[in-house]
Structure 1
Amino acid sequence: MSVALGPRMLPCLVWVPDARQSGAIPTHETARLRRSVWWVLPLLACVACSGSSSPGGEPDGGSHDAGCETPGPTENPPVDEKKDTLAASRLLRRASLALRGVPPTDAEYAAQEAAGDEAAQRAFVDSFVDRTLHEPLFYRTMFEKARDWFDIPVIASTADAPEYGAQQQRTVELCKPGTAKAGAWKFYRGDTKACDGLKPDGTPADETTLEPWWAPGTTVTLVGYAGNTSETGITMPNGTPTPVNCRQVGPEGTCGCGPNAVRCHADHGTYPGHENFVIHNAQGQRRLLFEEPARLFAHLAWYDRPATDLILGTYSVGPTRVQAAYVSQALAGGLTALHEDDSWWRPERYSQAPIDPEHTPGDPYAWREYSVPARNPFLIADRDYRFDPRTQTGAVRGVPAAGILTSIGFLAGYPRERLRGARALEILACEVFSPPQGQTFNEYRRDPGTEGTCQHCHRRLDPAAIHFKRYAKHSSAFEGWGAKYFMPGVGTAWHWPVAWRKGQFPYGGDPYSHWNRWYQPDTLLTPVTEAQATANPESLFIDFLPSDQTLLGQVSDGTIGPLGFAKLIVASGSFDRCVVRHMHAQVMGRDIDPAAEAGYLEAQVKRFVEGGRKIRPYVKSLTQSNLFKRGH
């Protein structure tokens, strides 16, 4: 028996010759043989034809599901090009669904029909594709595609909703009508007499007028502790009055909101906290941070940036409320110079930034491009920063910015390093983690990366997870403030006495308990010796892959943090293959099987990389492929 394919190997038409012609198989065996192989040969032939080329050399960018068909009773039927090519109207529908997610309008169908004959109507589709790729709806399609693809959860609350959002700012609310200071802003909690113009002891409350970051060009009045402009204040840890430097600790205790109130969040809602916390508020900070990774992908597609900027870049996109979260994180780490930086909230300072096509320049709600290191200098611009806590002491300068991998939405959405590593591999390298089948493992004692059943996955995910250690949410929060996030070992603020290693008060909860439980010396996740951990407890935060380990077959160059991970998956080719598969699924309607269609996948990746890893040109090339145009 043999398999014959059409002159262009598409569609995959399978036939079995009549064995009686050669006498090799008895007559009564021929029909049985044909029945037994009828459903097998199409699959084999389809695998063979995946990744075929047209006579002109253009790789087909499509689906063997759409291109392969089971033949009828006629042996070795010829390929009918007209029959196997979509009608112009069907092709228009396919293009519209791929690029916009909706069918063409009646007006578009009418315009296509009015174009003339079949050739003119097909040319209309080509023009439609070119036009649509530059319409805002294409940006929206890429955003929605990335949101579903990444599937990053919204940031969880630290305690009871809604007070515990991600803003790391203290909430202020308006004094109600009828009070002495009606219309002024006061702290939501901890200053009950402020709206009456009084301190708790009955003396006149502080009051200041300023231009707030959340409403540039206007002035507001802060009253009570919120309006305190002194450099020092009082906090009450464990009920004991303690003097503090207000510029360093922020609006805790009697300390105010700072210049332009950058340490506070003004909530206009009926219940303070809901505005930023509820996910159905499209302008709430919690939802905006959740959307930032997908918005960055859409931004790259819209501006024809390399897709690798998604994980290697030092920039991101976000409206003012998103950028406020990064500034707040930096302020919490002690970078008080950002108090005077107005480039992220004053429209004239950012009006020239590239923005999404759904807003206008200068709009504070526009998804505009910004430098992540400028907003949070602890997310540094250095592309090769190395720090080995086994041999180096002192503070880590920062963690290199790495696109969505250092976004607050990703890091806070996944509260543990192993979750981050596993999901980053699944999302960005298309890795699949599945339970082992019929294997025997050594006994589990303390390291899931080398012991027990769990090592089946942990041997792969722990070398990724090691890069995501230096970001952790504190287990408790103050009402109206939001969660606090630590970057252990970085800067001057995120260091603790050695008592945290023993879980002594106040280090009994997360993240200290998690670090003590899972950052065990001499494990795959924490490759430091017991002696090194004793000498320097911060060596447990080692966040680069040592040279004796590999990830996806790659050896690290020593770059710390998520950027080190990003470099490895790009070098392995896994990132490019994964992006191609997802874009192929978006346009062609199905994934590429990396096992059965390895050659076809590599051909697509080659086209993608040679095109500068740009999404829009690659999407267009798929719509021009022969397989995109095939069907009935």
Structure 2
Amino acid sequence: MPHRKLPPPGLATARDACALLWLLPFLFWLGCSGNIGPAGPTPNGEDAGCVEPPPEDGSDAGVPADVLVPSRLLRRSALALRGEPPTGEEYAALEAAGNEAAQRAYVSAFVDRTLQEPTFYRTLFETARDWFNIPPVGPSADPPEYGLQQQRSIVRCPEGTPKAGAWKYFRDDKDACHGLKPDGTPAEERALEPWWAPGTTTVLVGFAASVSPTGQTYDASGFPVTVNCATAGPVANCGCGPAAARCHADTGSYPGWEDYGLHSPQGQRRLVAEEPARLFAHLGWHDRPMTDLILGSYSVGPTRLQAAYVMQGLAGELTYLLEDDSWWRPSRFASAPVDPDHRQGDPTAWREYSVPARNPFFLEERDYRYDPRTQSTAMKGIPAAGMLTSLGFLSAYPRERVRGARALEMLACEELSPPQGQEFNEYKRDPGTEGTCQHCHRRVDPAAIHFKRFAKMGHGFEGHGATYPMPGVGKVWHWPARWRTGEYPYHSDPFSHWNRWYMPDTLLTPVTQAQADANPEAVFIDFLPAEQTLLGQTSDGTVGPLGFAKLIVASGSFDRCVVRHLHAQVMGRDIDPAKEAGYLEDQVARFISGGRKARPYIKALTQSDLFQRGR
């Protein structure tokens, strides 16, 4: 709203003048609220409706009325960019700069310098961590049994034993530290370079050292079963494999706690929860477009986090990953971009990596389409989609509707509120089209359909036990048609969930009963059919979370959401999309013109009239 002056004397009645005088404070407040009128943004790019005209006479003529003095502007800049006030030395340098023009130049240089300091990265990370608010992976049973690693715990043999210092399986190999097998014969022993300590030599003893291609386990009835160690994973008396990749070394007081406890910066449970926020900070620090957060095929993570992706690929029987050392050998990732707190080549650094290289079931392809209603061959996988295919996001929310709802809230700034005083048709079987719940499910289910192909099965136990099937993908994650009956062994999750909620002819599962009967895996359809839309957009058929990401980017919701959160960080307040639509669109245009990068947009905000105003 433009600044308004009182009418000249004689052009208004006394009553009108009195009314305008009463309204003047409110008109001033509205004029600086950030709203943009019908005319849209001003030609010079200033914040329309928020520029207070300078006084027309007096000693301050030509100076805007509410411009912060340099010391206050320095304080606001420091709090916005690094979350703490300026130091005494910085205030002293400001004073030493000279006159007001020189001091303002100092503040501008301070902003430029801070945007290049590690503290800016940490501010972005903390902003995203609070924004996404992704919880750590929940425990399967009693802590520390959260299960994500899909590796087997090994511990050191204690002092005083013949094999002191060697590593053995924590359970089911009690005589290994004495150099014996359970039958009393000599135990196997092997020296290797382990993935968790590159450049060193570690000794494995007992079953952990086995290189036999087959092993023995037991079925549910207790009968022995021979397994292929290359595909069976860390079970029975199979060994840890090359570089001990199928095992994780526990140095804590009890196996699992080291990776479970959130107090440990390198604990895997904490790492997977932080990955989305770290990716956001990485994009801002390295001047990448923020759309890579959900459209990119890469992510960031230290070696211990990347191990979780490799194990998921191995669980799908991509055994060639056992011979790949690119995820743990420093020379193989020496040039990967990292966070500013670590050097390149540091295994603990948050370094950039290709998600498909770690778990090839997360595809590099950007337009992969698969329709289970018409295709019966196995699905290759789902395209990698930044934080949306991160194991922290997928594992923290074990249901597709929760994933879809949270993705809408986080990344499209959707508000899913209950209805007020509405009447709905009777609920029978589909919450997307029936009953009171359809108010939200009509919006949630077209998002949730993209998040079906990742689930949890079983319970974690000291690092292994739980598995994470990707139904319909690859060679492994398929089951006989009787899984749809819910009978043993298909009576528990995730089958019970799929059987209950993946019902044909529903909004979440738009397949006919005949199609589901012909191919039970058709219920895993994970793209939006042409007859449905999300945020007004029609899908191009891309499957999985990437299909969802494309829709929210095309709708403009993602850009608006990122702008609102960056604006709140720097300016101290959100932008109301209903009352400040014009201002929001102006900010989005500014964000896009800067390549959708965080640093240029934040710099522009610190130069805006709104940022530099106050008392």
Does TM, scored on the shorter chain, surpass 0.5?
Answer: yes
Render the CA deviation track for 1:590-617: whole Å, top value 9, x for unaligned. 1111111111111111111111111101
**CA apart distance, 1:46:** 4.9
Distance in 2 between residues matched to 1:190 and 1:79, nearest whole Å: 85
Correspondence for 1:342 among 325, 333, 339: 325
Counterpart in 2 of 1:212? 194
Task: Say which of 479, 483, 498 aligns to 2:481.
Answer: 498
Query: Paired residue for 1:329?
Result: 312
The 3-state SS of whatever aligns with 1:472 is coil
Query: In the alignment, which of 435, 438, 455 is matched to residue 455 of structure 1?
Result: 438
Any idea what SS the aligned residue of 1:337 has?
Answer: helix
Structure 1 residue corresponding to 2:381, chosen from 370, 374, 398: 398
Offset of residue 85 of structure 1 = 0.4
Counterpart AA for 1:58: G
Residue 576 of structure 2 corresponds to residue 587 of structure 1: no
Q: Could you tell me how far apart the structure 1 residues matched to 2:42 and 2:372 are?
A: 58
What is the match of residue 91 of structure 1? 73
Q: How does 1:28-39 map to 2 (within 5 A)?
A: 31=18, 35=22
Deviates more, 1:602-611 or 1:552-561: 602-611
Alignment of structure 1 residues 568-583 onto 2, 5 Å:
568-583=551-566
- 2:46 — aligned with what? 59
Aligned 8 A contact 1:555 1:568 in 2? yes
Matches within 5 A, 1:133-532: 133-238=115-220, 239-481=222-464, 483-532=466-515
- Could you say if the C-alpha distance between residues 108 and 54 of structure 1 is closer, same or farther in structure 2, counting changes exceeding 3 Å? farther
Cα deviation for residue 206 of structure 1 reads: 2.0
Deviation at 1:193, TM superposition (A): 1.9
**Contact (CA 8 Å) 1:207, 1:227: kept in 2 or not?**
yes
SS in structure 1 of the partner of residue 203 of structure 2: strand
The aligned amino acid for 2:84 is V
Q: Does residue 119 of structure 1 match 2:101?
A: yes
Give the direction of change, closer, same or farther, for the CA distance of 1:54–1:567 in structure 2 (3 Å limit): closer
Letter in 2 for 1:124: Y
Mapped pair 1:617 → 2:597: no
Show CA shifts across 1:497-543 (max 9, x none): 12211112121111111111111111100001111111111111000
Taking the aligned partners of 1:548 and 1:208, their CA distance within structure 2 comes to: 59
Which one of the candidate residues 587, 590, 603 is aligned to 1:607?
Answer: 590
Instruction: Check whether the contact 2:234–2:464 (CA below 8 A) recurs between aligned residues.
Output: no
Deviation at 1:335, TM superposition (A): 0.3
**Taking structure 1 as reference, are residues 54 and 33 closer, same or farther at Cα in structure 2, changes over 3 Å only?**
closer
Partner Cα distance (1:88, 1:362) in 2: 42
Q: CA separation of 1:30/1:623 partners in 2, compared to 1, >3 Å: closer, same or farther?
A: closer
Q: 1:256 offset after TM fit, Å?
A: 0.8
Deviations 1:49-93 (A, max 9, x none): 5489998702329x96xx799xxxxxxxx9983541000011011
CA contact 2:147–2:461 (8 Å) conserved in 1: no
Hey, what's the Cα distance between the residues in 2 that align with 1:260 and 1:254? 17
Whether the aligned pair in 2 keeps the contact of 1:544 and 1:560 (CA below 8 Å) is yes
Please give the per-residue CA displacement for 1:235-289, whole angstroms capped at 9, x wherever unaligned: 1122110011001011201111111110111011111100001111111011011
Cα drift, residue 17 of structure 1 = 5.3
Amino acid at match of 1:584: H
**Comparing 248-257 with 463-472, which one deviates more in the overlay?**
248-257
Q: TM-score, normalised by structure 1?
A: 0.92
Distance 1:482 1:135 in 2: 43
- Contact map agreement 1:250 1:258 (CA 8 A) in 2: no
Q: Does 1:558 align with 2:541?
A: yes
Asked if 2 retains the 8 angstrom alpha-carbon contact of 1:488 and 1:494, the reply is yes
- CA-to-aligned-CA distance 1:16-63 (integer Å, 9 cap, x gap): 659x9456x6x578757865x5676556545685489998702329x9
**Greater displacement, 393-402 / 40-49:** 40-49
2:57: which partner in 1?
none
What is the CA-CA distance between 1:203 and the residue it aligns to?
Answer: 2.2
Please state how far the C-alpha of 1:126 moved relative to its aligned partner. 0.7
**Taking structure 1 as reference, are residues 630 and 472 closer, same or farther at Cα in structure 2, changes over 3 Å only?**
same
* Structure 2: 5+ residue stretches without partners: 54-59
Taking the aligned partners of 1:194 and 1:253, their CA distance within structure 2 comes to 14
Instruction: Answer whether contact 2:316 2:475 (CA < 8 A) is retained.
Output: yes
User: Which amino acid counterpart does residue 60 of structure 1 have in structure 2?
Assistant: D
Deviations 1:86-124 (A, max 9, x none): 000110111111111111110011011101101000000
CA contact (8 A) 1:475 1:509 kept: no
CA offset at residue 401 of structure 1?
0.2
* 1:387-432 deviation digits (Å, cap 9, x = unpaired): 0000100210010000000000110011110111011111111100
Offset, 1:433: 0.5
Asked if the contact 1:251–1:258 (Cα under 8 Å) also holds between the matched residues in 2, the reply is no
Contact 1:58 1:625 in 2 (8 A): no
Distance (whole Å) between structure 1 residues aligned to residue 340 and residue 10 of structure 2: 66
CA contact (8 A) 2:148 2:460 kept: no
Q: Distance in 2 between matches of 1:567 and 1:32?
A: 52
3-state SS, counterpart of residue 154 of structure 2: strand
CA separation in 1, counterparts of 2:42 and 2:136? 49
Say which SS state the counterpart of residue 509 (structure 2) adopts: coil
Q: Is the 8 A contact 2:190 2:204 kept in 1?
A: yes
- Residue 204 of structure 1: CA displacement? 2.0
- 3-state secondary structure, aligned to 1:290: helix
5 Å matches for 1:99-118? 99-118=81-100
Instruction: Give SS of 1:486's match.
Output: coil
Distance in 2 (alpha carbons) for counterparts of 1:418 and 1:508: 21
The separation in 2 between residues aligned to 1:370 and 1:195, in whole angstroms, is 38
Shift of 1:294: 0.6
What is the SS of the residue equivalent to 2:174?
Answer: coil
Q: Show CA shifts across 1:136-178 (max 9, x none).
A: 1101111111111111111111121113331111111111111
Residue identity matched to 1:108:
E
Secondary structure of the residue aligned to 1:629 is coil
SS at match of 2:611: helix
Corresponding residue SS for 2:282:
helix
